[in-house]
Amino acid sequence: IVAPGPCGMTTKAKPKEASQVKKSRRWKRFTHDQIRSKVEQRRDLKCYHTLLMESAVEKDERGIVFDSHHKSWKKLIGLVTFQGNEKERRFQEELKKSKPDMYAIRQHCRRHGVPKDFRGKVWTLLLEEIAAQSHLGLPRGDFTKVLPPEDPGLRVIKADVSRTFPYNDLFQRAEVQRELELLLSTYCREYGVQYKQGMNFIFAIFFQLGLRDRNARYHSACLFMETMTGSTFKDRDFGGLQSVFRVFRLLLRYHDPVLCNYLDQYDMVPELYASSWFITLHANRLPADTLMRLWDHLLMDRLEQRLLHLFVSLGLLIKRRDSLLSEGVVTLPAMLSRIAISSISEVEELVGQARRKYRPDTPQS
């Protein structure tokens, strides 16, 4: 196809450009890490890798480009969709059992993620399993036994609840605030702990899981506090938290001594920038969907949840090393305070890095 050009010359018409646009739309680029992750997730589909590579059109150091119109790609999509529907059906049936197979549930969630509609149920089952392995009792949840009105902790609870997720309409509702106050007060009374700032954000997450009632929210939130936060909220002087900061700094010194020395040079200790990472497990810094995906991984990591969290936080800091090393003493504190996980995809990246790199490469003692 030709068209008159300037001065009577003939030039290629726009269909070539249109063809390039169409081609770019049908081509899908993935990094090598993304491809490895997908192949691992679908390892029970024997032909997955073969069909995938049959639809490849370009390969370089950045990754591989696939043709989404290729017959092998279309066949692959059909197989994955069919298998996914069947696996989802079996997963839901397993959840309905009085004693679900936790290995099957864990494997499904590792490969396909925790389904949003069933996250509350899955978290509760995982937390009960961790509690049983740790020989922890289940919460009683007597809501008639709360902190007395004169308890100073009650005033702090009320103040903190009013500031919990201020941009989320759910937590601006008076009835939700009263309910959150009740659960926090009951927890402090039942477990004999003094209320500390940060508890409010952790308990608030369990209002966003679709759990059926007050008892279910309290049950799961208490188990999370007991199994995932260690002694952070039980030690009046935060001694346990100081130990976590020391371990974190040692990990940074081992894996990135240059960055560690640079931060030490300006007295930028973990207490100044990582407190919320370890007090609330990032709950007060991340959008709900991003945080929940991070907690999915922490809960599925069985008895090594706290180690995984340390390595994820380490990776988060080291990932920003170039920007941090270019900052001066005046702007460094602000830069550190802004560090946060940016997306669900970054959660997956940091968790994968923690499991494949930082945890295996760290000496046991």
Give the tens place of pLDDT for each residue, 276-291: 999 999 999 999 999 9
Rounded Cα distance, 67 and 77, in Å: 12
At 71 the pLDDT is 87
Res 47 pLDDT > 50: yes
Concatenated DSSP letters of 196-260? -TTHHHHHHHTTSS--SSHHHHHHHHHHHHHHHSTTTTT-TT-HHHHHHHHHHHHHHHHH-HHHH
Res 9 pLDDT > 60: no
- Look up the CATH architecture of domain 239-361: Orthogonal Bundle (1.10)
Q: β-pairing, 63-67 with 27-30? A: antiparallel
Furthest-apart CA atoms within the chain: distance in Å? 92
Compute the mean pLDDT over every residue in the chain, rounded to the nearest whole number.
87
At 22 the pLDDT is 53
142: burial class by Cβ within 10 Å (0-12, 13-18, 19+)?
exposed
**Pick from 21, 28, 19, 20: nearest CA to 76:** 28
Of 177-186, 264-273, 303-312, give the lowest mean pLDDT range: 303-312
**Fold entry, domain 108-226:** Helicase, Ruva Protein; domain 3 (1.10.8)
- pLDDT band for 8, please (50, 70, 90 cuts): very low
Give the tens place of pLDDT for each residue, 298-342: 998 864 667 899 999 999 999 999 999 998 889 999 999 999 999
The identity of residue 302, as a single letter, is R
At 33 the pLDDT is 86
For the chain, what are the domain ranges?
A: 22-96, 108-226, 239-361
- pLDDT band for 212, please (50, 70, 90 cuts): confident
**Tokens 């494997």 appear where?**
107
At 247 the pLDDT is 94
Res 113 pLDDT > 50: yes
Give the tens place of pLDDT for each residue, 68-97: 888 888 888 777 764 557 778 888 899 999
Residue 29, classed as helix, strand or coil, is strand
**Pick from 195, 224, 193, 194: nearest CA to 207:** 224
Enter the pTM of the model.
Answer: 0.77
Angle at the Cα of 314 from the Cα atoms of 207 and 291, rounded to 5 degrees: 15
293: burial class by Cβ within 10 Å (0-12, 13-18, 19+)?
buried
